[in-house]
C-alpha cells in the first residue's frame, strides 16, 4: 500500500483533527481550530503542516514550523501523529523525513518534537537521532469530583477575560510576562500584540467566559486560560502569575473559579498538562484531584 506525504489542504482540516484526537485524546483539536491555526500563523513561523495519505485516507499528520517568538533563531518543531489503527505502515517515517527537509529549507538548525512515553514511540524517535530532553504529564479531572469553591484571596478580584473584550491589552501584558517564565526548552518573547490578538485572543477554542483573571489594585496579575470544544471537554491552555505576586495562592484561586464555572456550564471533564518537574503546579493540580493519564517526552535533533 503506497503512502504519500503532501501539504495540508483546507479540506483536510476535519481529517487532520480526527487523527490528532485519536493519537492523543488529551488534546483538543477540531476542524475549525486546525484550519484557524494554519490560516492565522505568523509568516515567520513557516507553519505548513503535512499529511500522510493512503488510498485517499489521511492516516497521519505533522505540525511543522519554526518557533518564531524564540530569542534563539532556527528552533523548529515537528509533532507527528499517526492514527493508532494505521501504525506500522511507514507513515511516521515519511512524515518525519518530509518535516525535517521542510525545516532545513527555511533555515532551521534544530527540530523539537513531543513523543508519547511508550517504548515503541521513544525507540522510533531515538533511531532517527532524536535525543530525549524533558518530560510532561497529561492530567485529567472528572468535574463531578471538583473540590468546593474557594473564596477569592483578600484584596483580589476574580474576573473573566470576557470583561476585557473592549481592551485586551492588559491580558496580553499578563500573558507575555508569564510566558517568559514558563518552563521549557524554547523560550518565547511576546511583543506582537496584533499577532497575539489573531492567534490567541480570537482562537476558536479560546473560551473567554471561562478564562479567569485575578486583578489586584486594578492590574491583572494571574490567570488561567480555558479552551473548550463547546461540548463536554475543557482544557487549561496555561496558568500563570506575574513574578511580583507569586506565593499567594493565586494560581489555585483562578483555576478553582474557572473550573467551577466550567462545571456549571455543563462541561464534564477537564484536562491540563505539566512539566514533570514543575512541583508547585503539580501540587495545585493534585489538590483539585487531577490524575496523570499519560506522559510525553520532549526530544530534539540537530539539523545540518
Residues 177 and 268 in one domain: yes
Residue 183 clears pLDDT 90, i.e. is over it: no
Q: Does 96 reside within a domain?
A: yes
Residues 41 and 162 in one domain: no
Q: List pLDDT tens digits, range 247-276.
A: 999 999 999 999 999 999 999 999 999 999
Per cent of the chain over pLDDT 70 is: 98
Cα separation of 220 and 218, whole Å?
A: 7
Residue 232 clears pLDDT 70, i.e. is over it: yes
Residues 218 and 98 in one domain: no
Quote the pLDDT of residue 71.
87
Q: Does 248 reside within a domain?
A: yes
Whole domain around residue 20: which residue ranges?
3-108
SS3 for 95-162 is HHHHHHHHHHHCCCCEEEEEEECCHHHHHHHHHCCCEEEEEEEEEEEEHHHCCCCCCCCCCCEEEEHH
The average pLDDT across 161-165 equals 98
Number of domains comprising the chain: 2
The average pLDDT across 227-240 equals 95
Q: List pLDDT tens digits, range 15-36.
A: 999 999 999 999 999 999 999 9
Cα separation of 254 and 210, whole Å?
A: 10
Q: Does 13 reside within a domain?
A: yes
Residue 185 clears pLDDT 80, i.e. is over it: no
This prediction has a pTM of 0.93
Q: Does 123 reside within a domain?
A: no
Quote helix, strand, coil % in the chain, to nearest 5. 35, 30, 35
Q: Does 97 reside within a domain?
A: yes
Residues 202 and 97 in one domain: no
Q: How confident is the model at residue 175 (pLDDT cuts 50, 70, 90)?
A: very high
Residues 40 and 145 in one domain: no
Residues 97 and 153 in one domain: no
Cα separation of 59 and 133, whole Å?
A: 28
The average pLDDT across 72-81 equals 96
Per cent of the chain over pLDDT 90 is: 91
Q: Is the dihedral of CA 35, 40, 43, 46 positive or negative?
A: negative
Residues 197 and 241 in one domain: yes
Residues 155 and 290 in one domain: yes
Cα separation of 281 and 182, whole Å?
A: 11
* Residue of 114, 104, 140 lying closest to 20 (CA atoms): 114
Residue 188 clears pLDDT 70, i.e. is over it: no
Q: Does 115 reside within a domain?
A: no
Q: CATH no. for residue 186?
A: 3.40.630.30
Residues 175 and 78 in one domain: no
Quote the pLDDT of residue 182.
75
H helices of the chain, in order, are 13-23, 31-40, 91-105, 119-127, 169-180, 193-196, 250-264, 279-288
Residues 148 and 276 in one domain: yes
Residues 91 and 216 in one domain: no
Residues 87 and 145 in one domain: no
Q: List pLDDT tens digits, range 54-71.
A: 999 999 999 999 999 888
Question: Is the Cβ–Cβ distance between 88 and 120 less than 8 Å?
Answer: no
Amino acid at each position: 500500500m503506497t503512502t504519500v506525504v503532501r501539504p495540508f489542504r483546507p479540506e483536510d482540516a476535519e481529517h487532520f483533527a480526527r487523527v490528532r484526537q485519536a493519537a492523543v485524546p488529551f488534546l483538543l483539536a477540531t476542524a475549525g481550530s486546525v484550519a484557524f491555526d494554519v490560516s492565522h500563523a505568523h509568516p515567520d513561523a513557516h507553519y505548513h503542516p503535512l499529511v500522510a495519505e493512503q488510498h485517499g485516507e489521511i492516516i497521519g499528520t505533522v505540525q511543522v514550523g519554526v518557533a518564531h517568538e524564540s530569542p534563539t533563531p532556527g528552533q523548529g518543531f515537528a509533532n507527528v501523529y499517526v492514527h493508532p489503527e494505521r501504525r506500522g505502515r511507514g507513515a511516521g517515517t515519511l512524515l518525519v523525513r518530509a518535516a525535517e527537509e521542510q525545516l532545513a529549507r527555511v533555515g532551521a538548525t534544530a527540530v523539537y518534537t513531543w513523543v508519547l512515553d511508550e517504548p515503541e514511540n521513544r525507540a522510533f524517535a531515538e533511531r532517527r537521532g532524536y535525543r530525549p530532553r524533558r518530560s510532561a504529564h497529561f492530567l485529567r479531572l472528572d468535574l463531578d469530583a471538583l473540590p468546593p469553591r474557594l473564596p477569592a484571596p483578600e484584596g483580589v478580584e476574580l474576573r473573566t477575560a470576557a470583561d476585557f473584550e473592549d481592551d485586551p491589552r492588559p491580558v496580553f501584558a499578563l500573558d507575555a510576562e508569564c510566558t517568559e517564565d514558563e518552563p521549557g526548552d524554547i523560550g518565547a518573547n511576546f511583543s506582537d500584540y496584533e499577532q497575539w490578538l489573531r492567534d490567541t485572543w480570537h482562537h476558536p477554542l479560546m473560551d473567554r467566559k471561562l478564562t479567569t483573571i485575578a486583578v489586584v489594585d486594578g492590574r491583572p496579575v494571574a490567570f488561567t486560560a480555558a479552551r473548550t470544544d463547546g461540548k463536554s471537554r475543557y482544557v487549561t491552555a496555561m496558568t500563570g502569575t506575574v513574578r511580583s505576586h507569586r506565593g499567594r495562592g493565586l494560581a489555585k484561586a483562578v483555576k478553582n473559579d474557572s473550573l467551577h464555572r466550567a462545571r456549571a456550564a455543563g462541561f464534564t471533564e477537564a484536562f491540563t498538562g505539566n512539566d514533570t518537574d514543575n512541583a508547585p503546579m503539580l501540587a495545585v493540580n493534585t489538590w483539585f484531584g487531577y490524575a496523570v493519564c499519560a506522559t510525553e517526552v520532549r526530544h530534539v535533533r540537530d539539523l545540518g
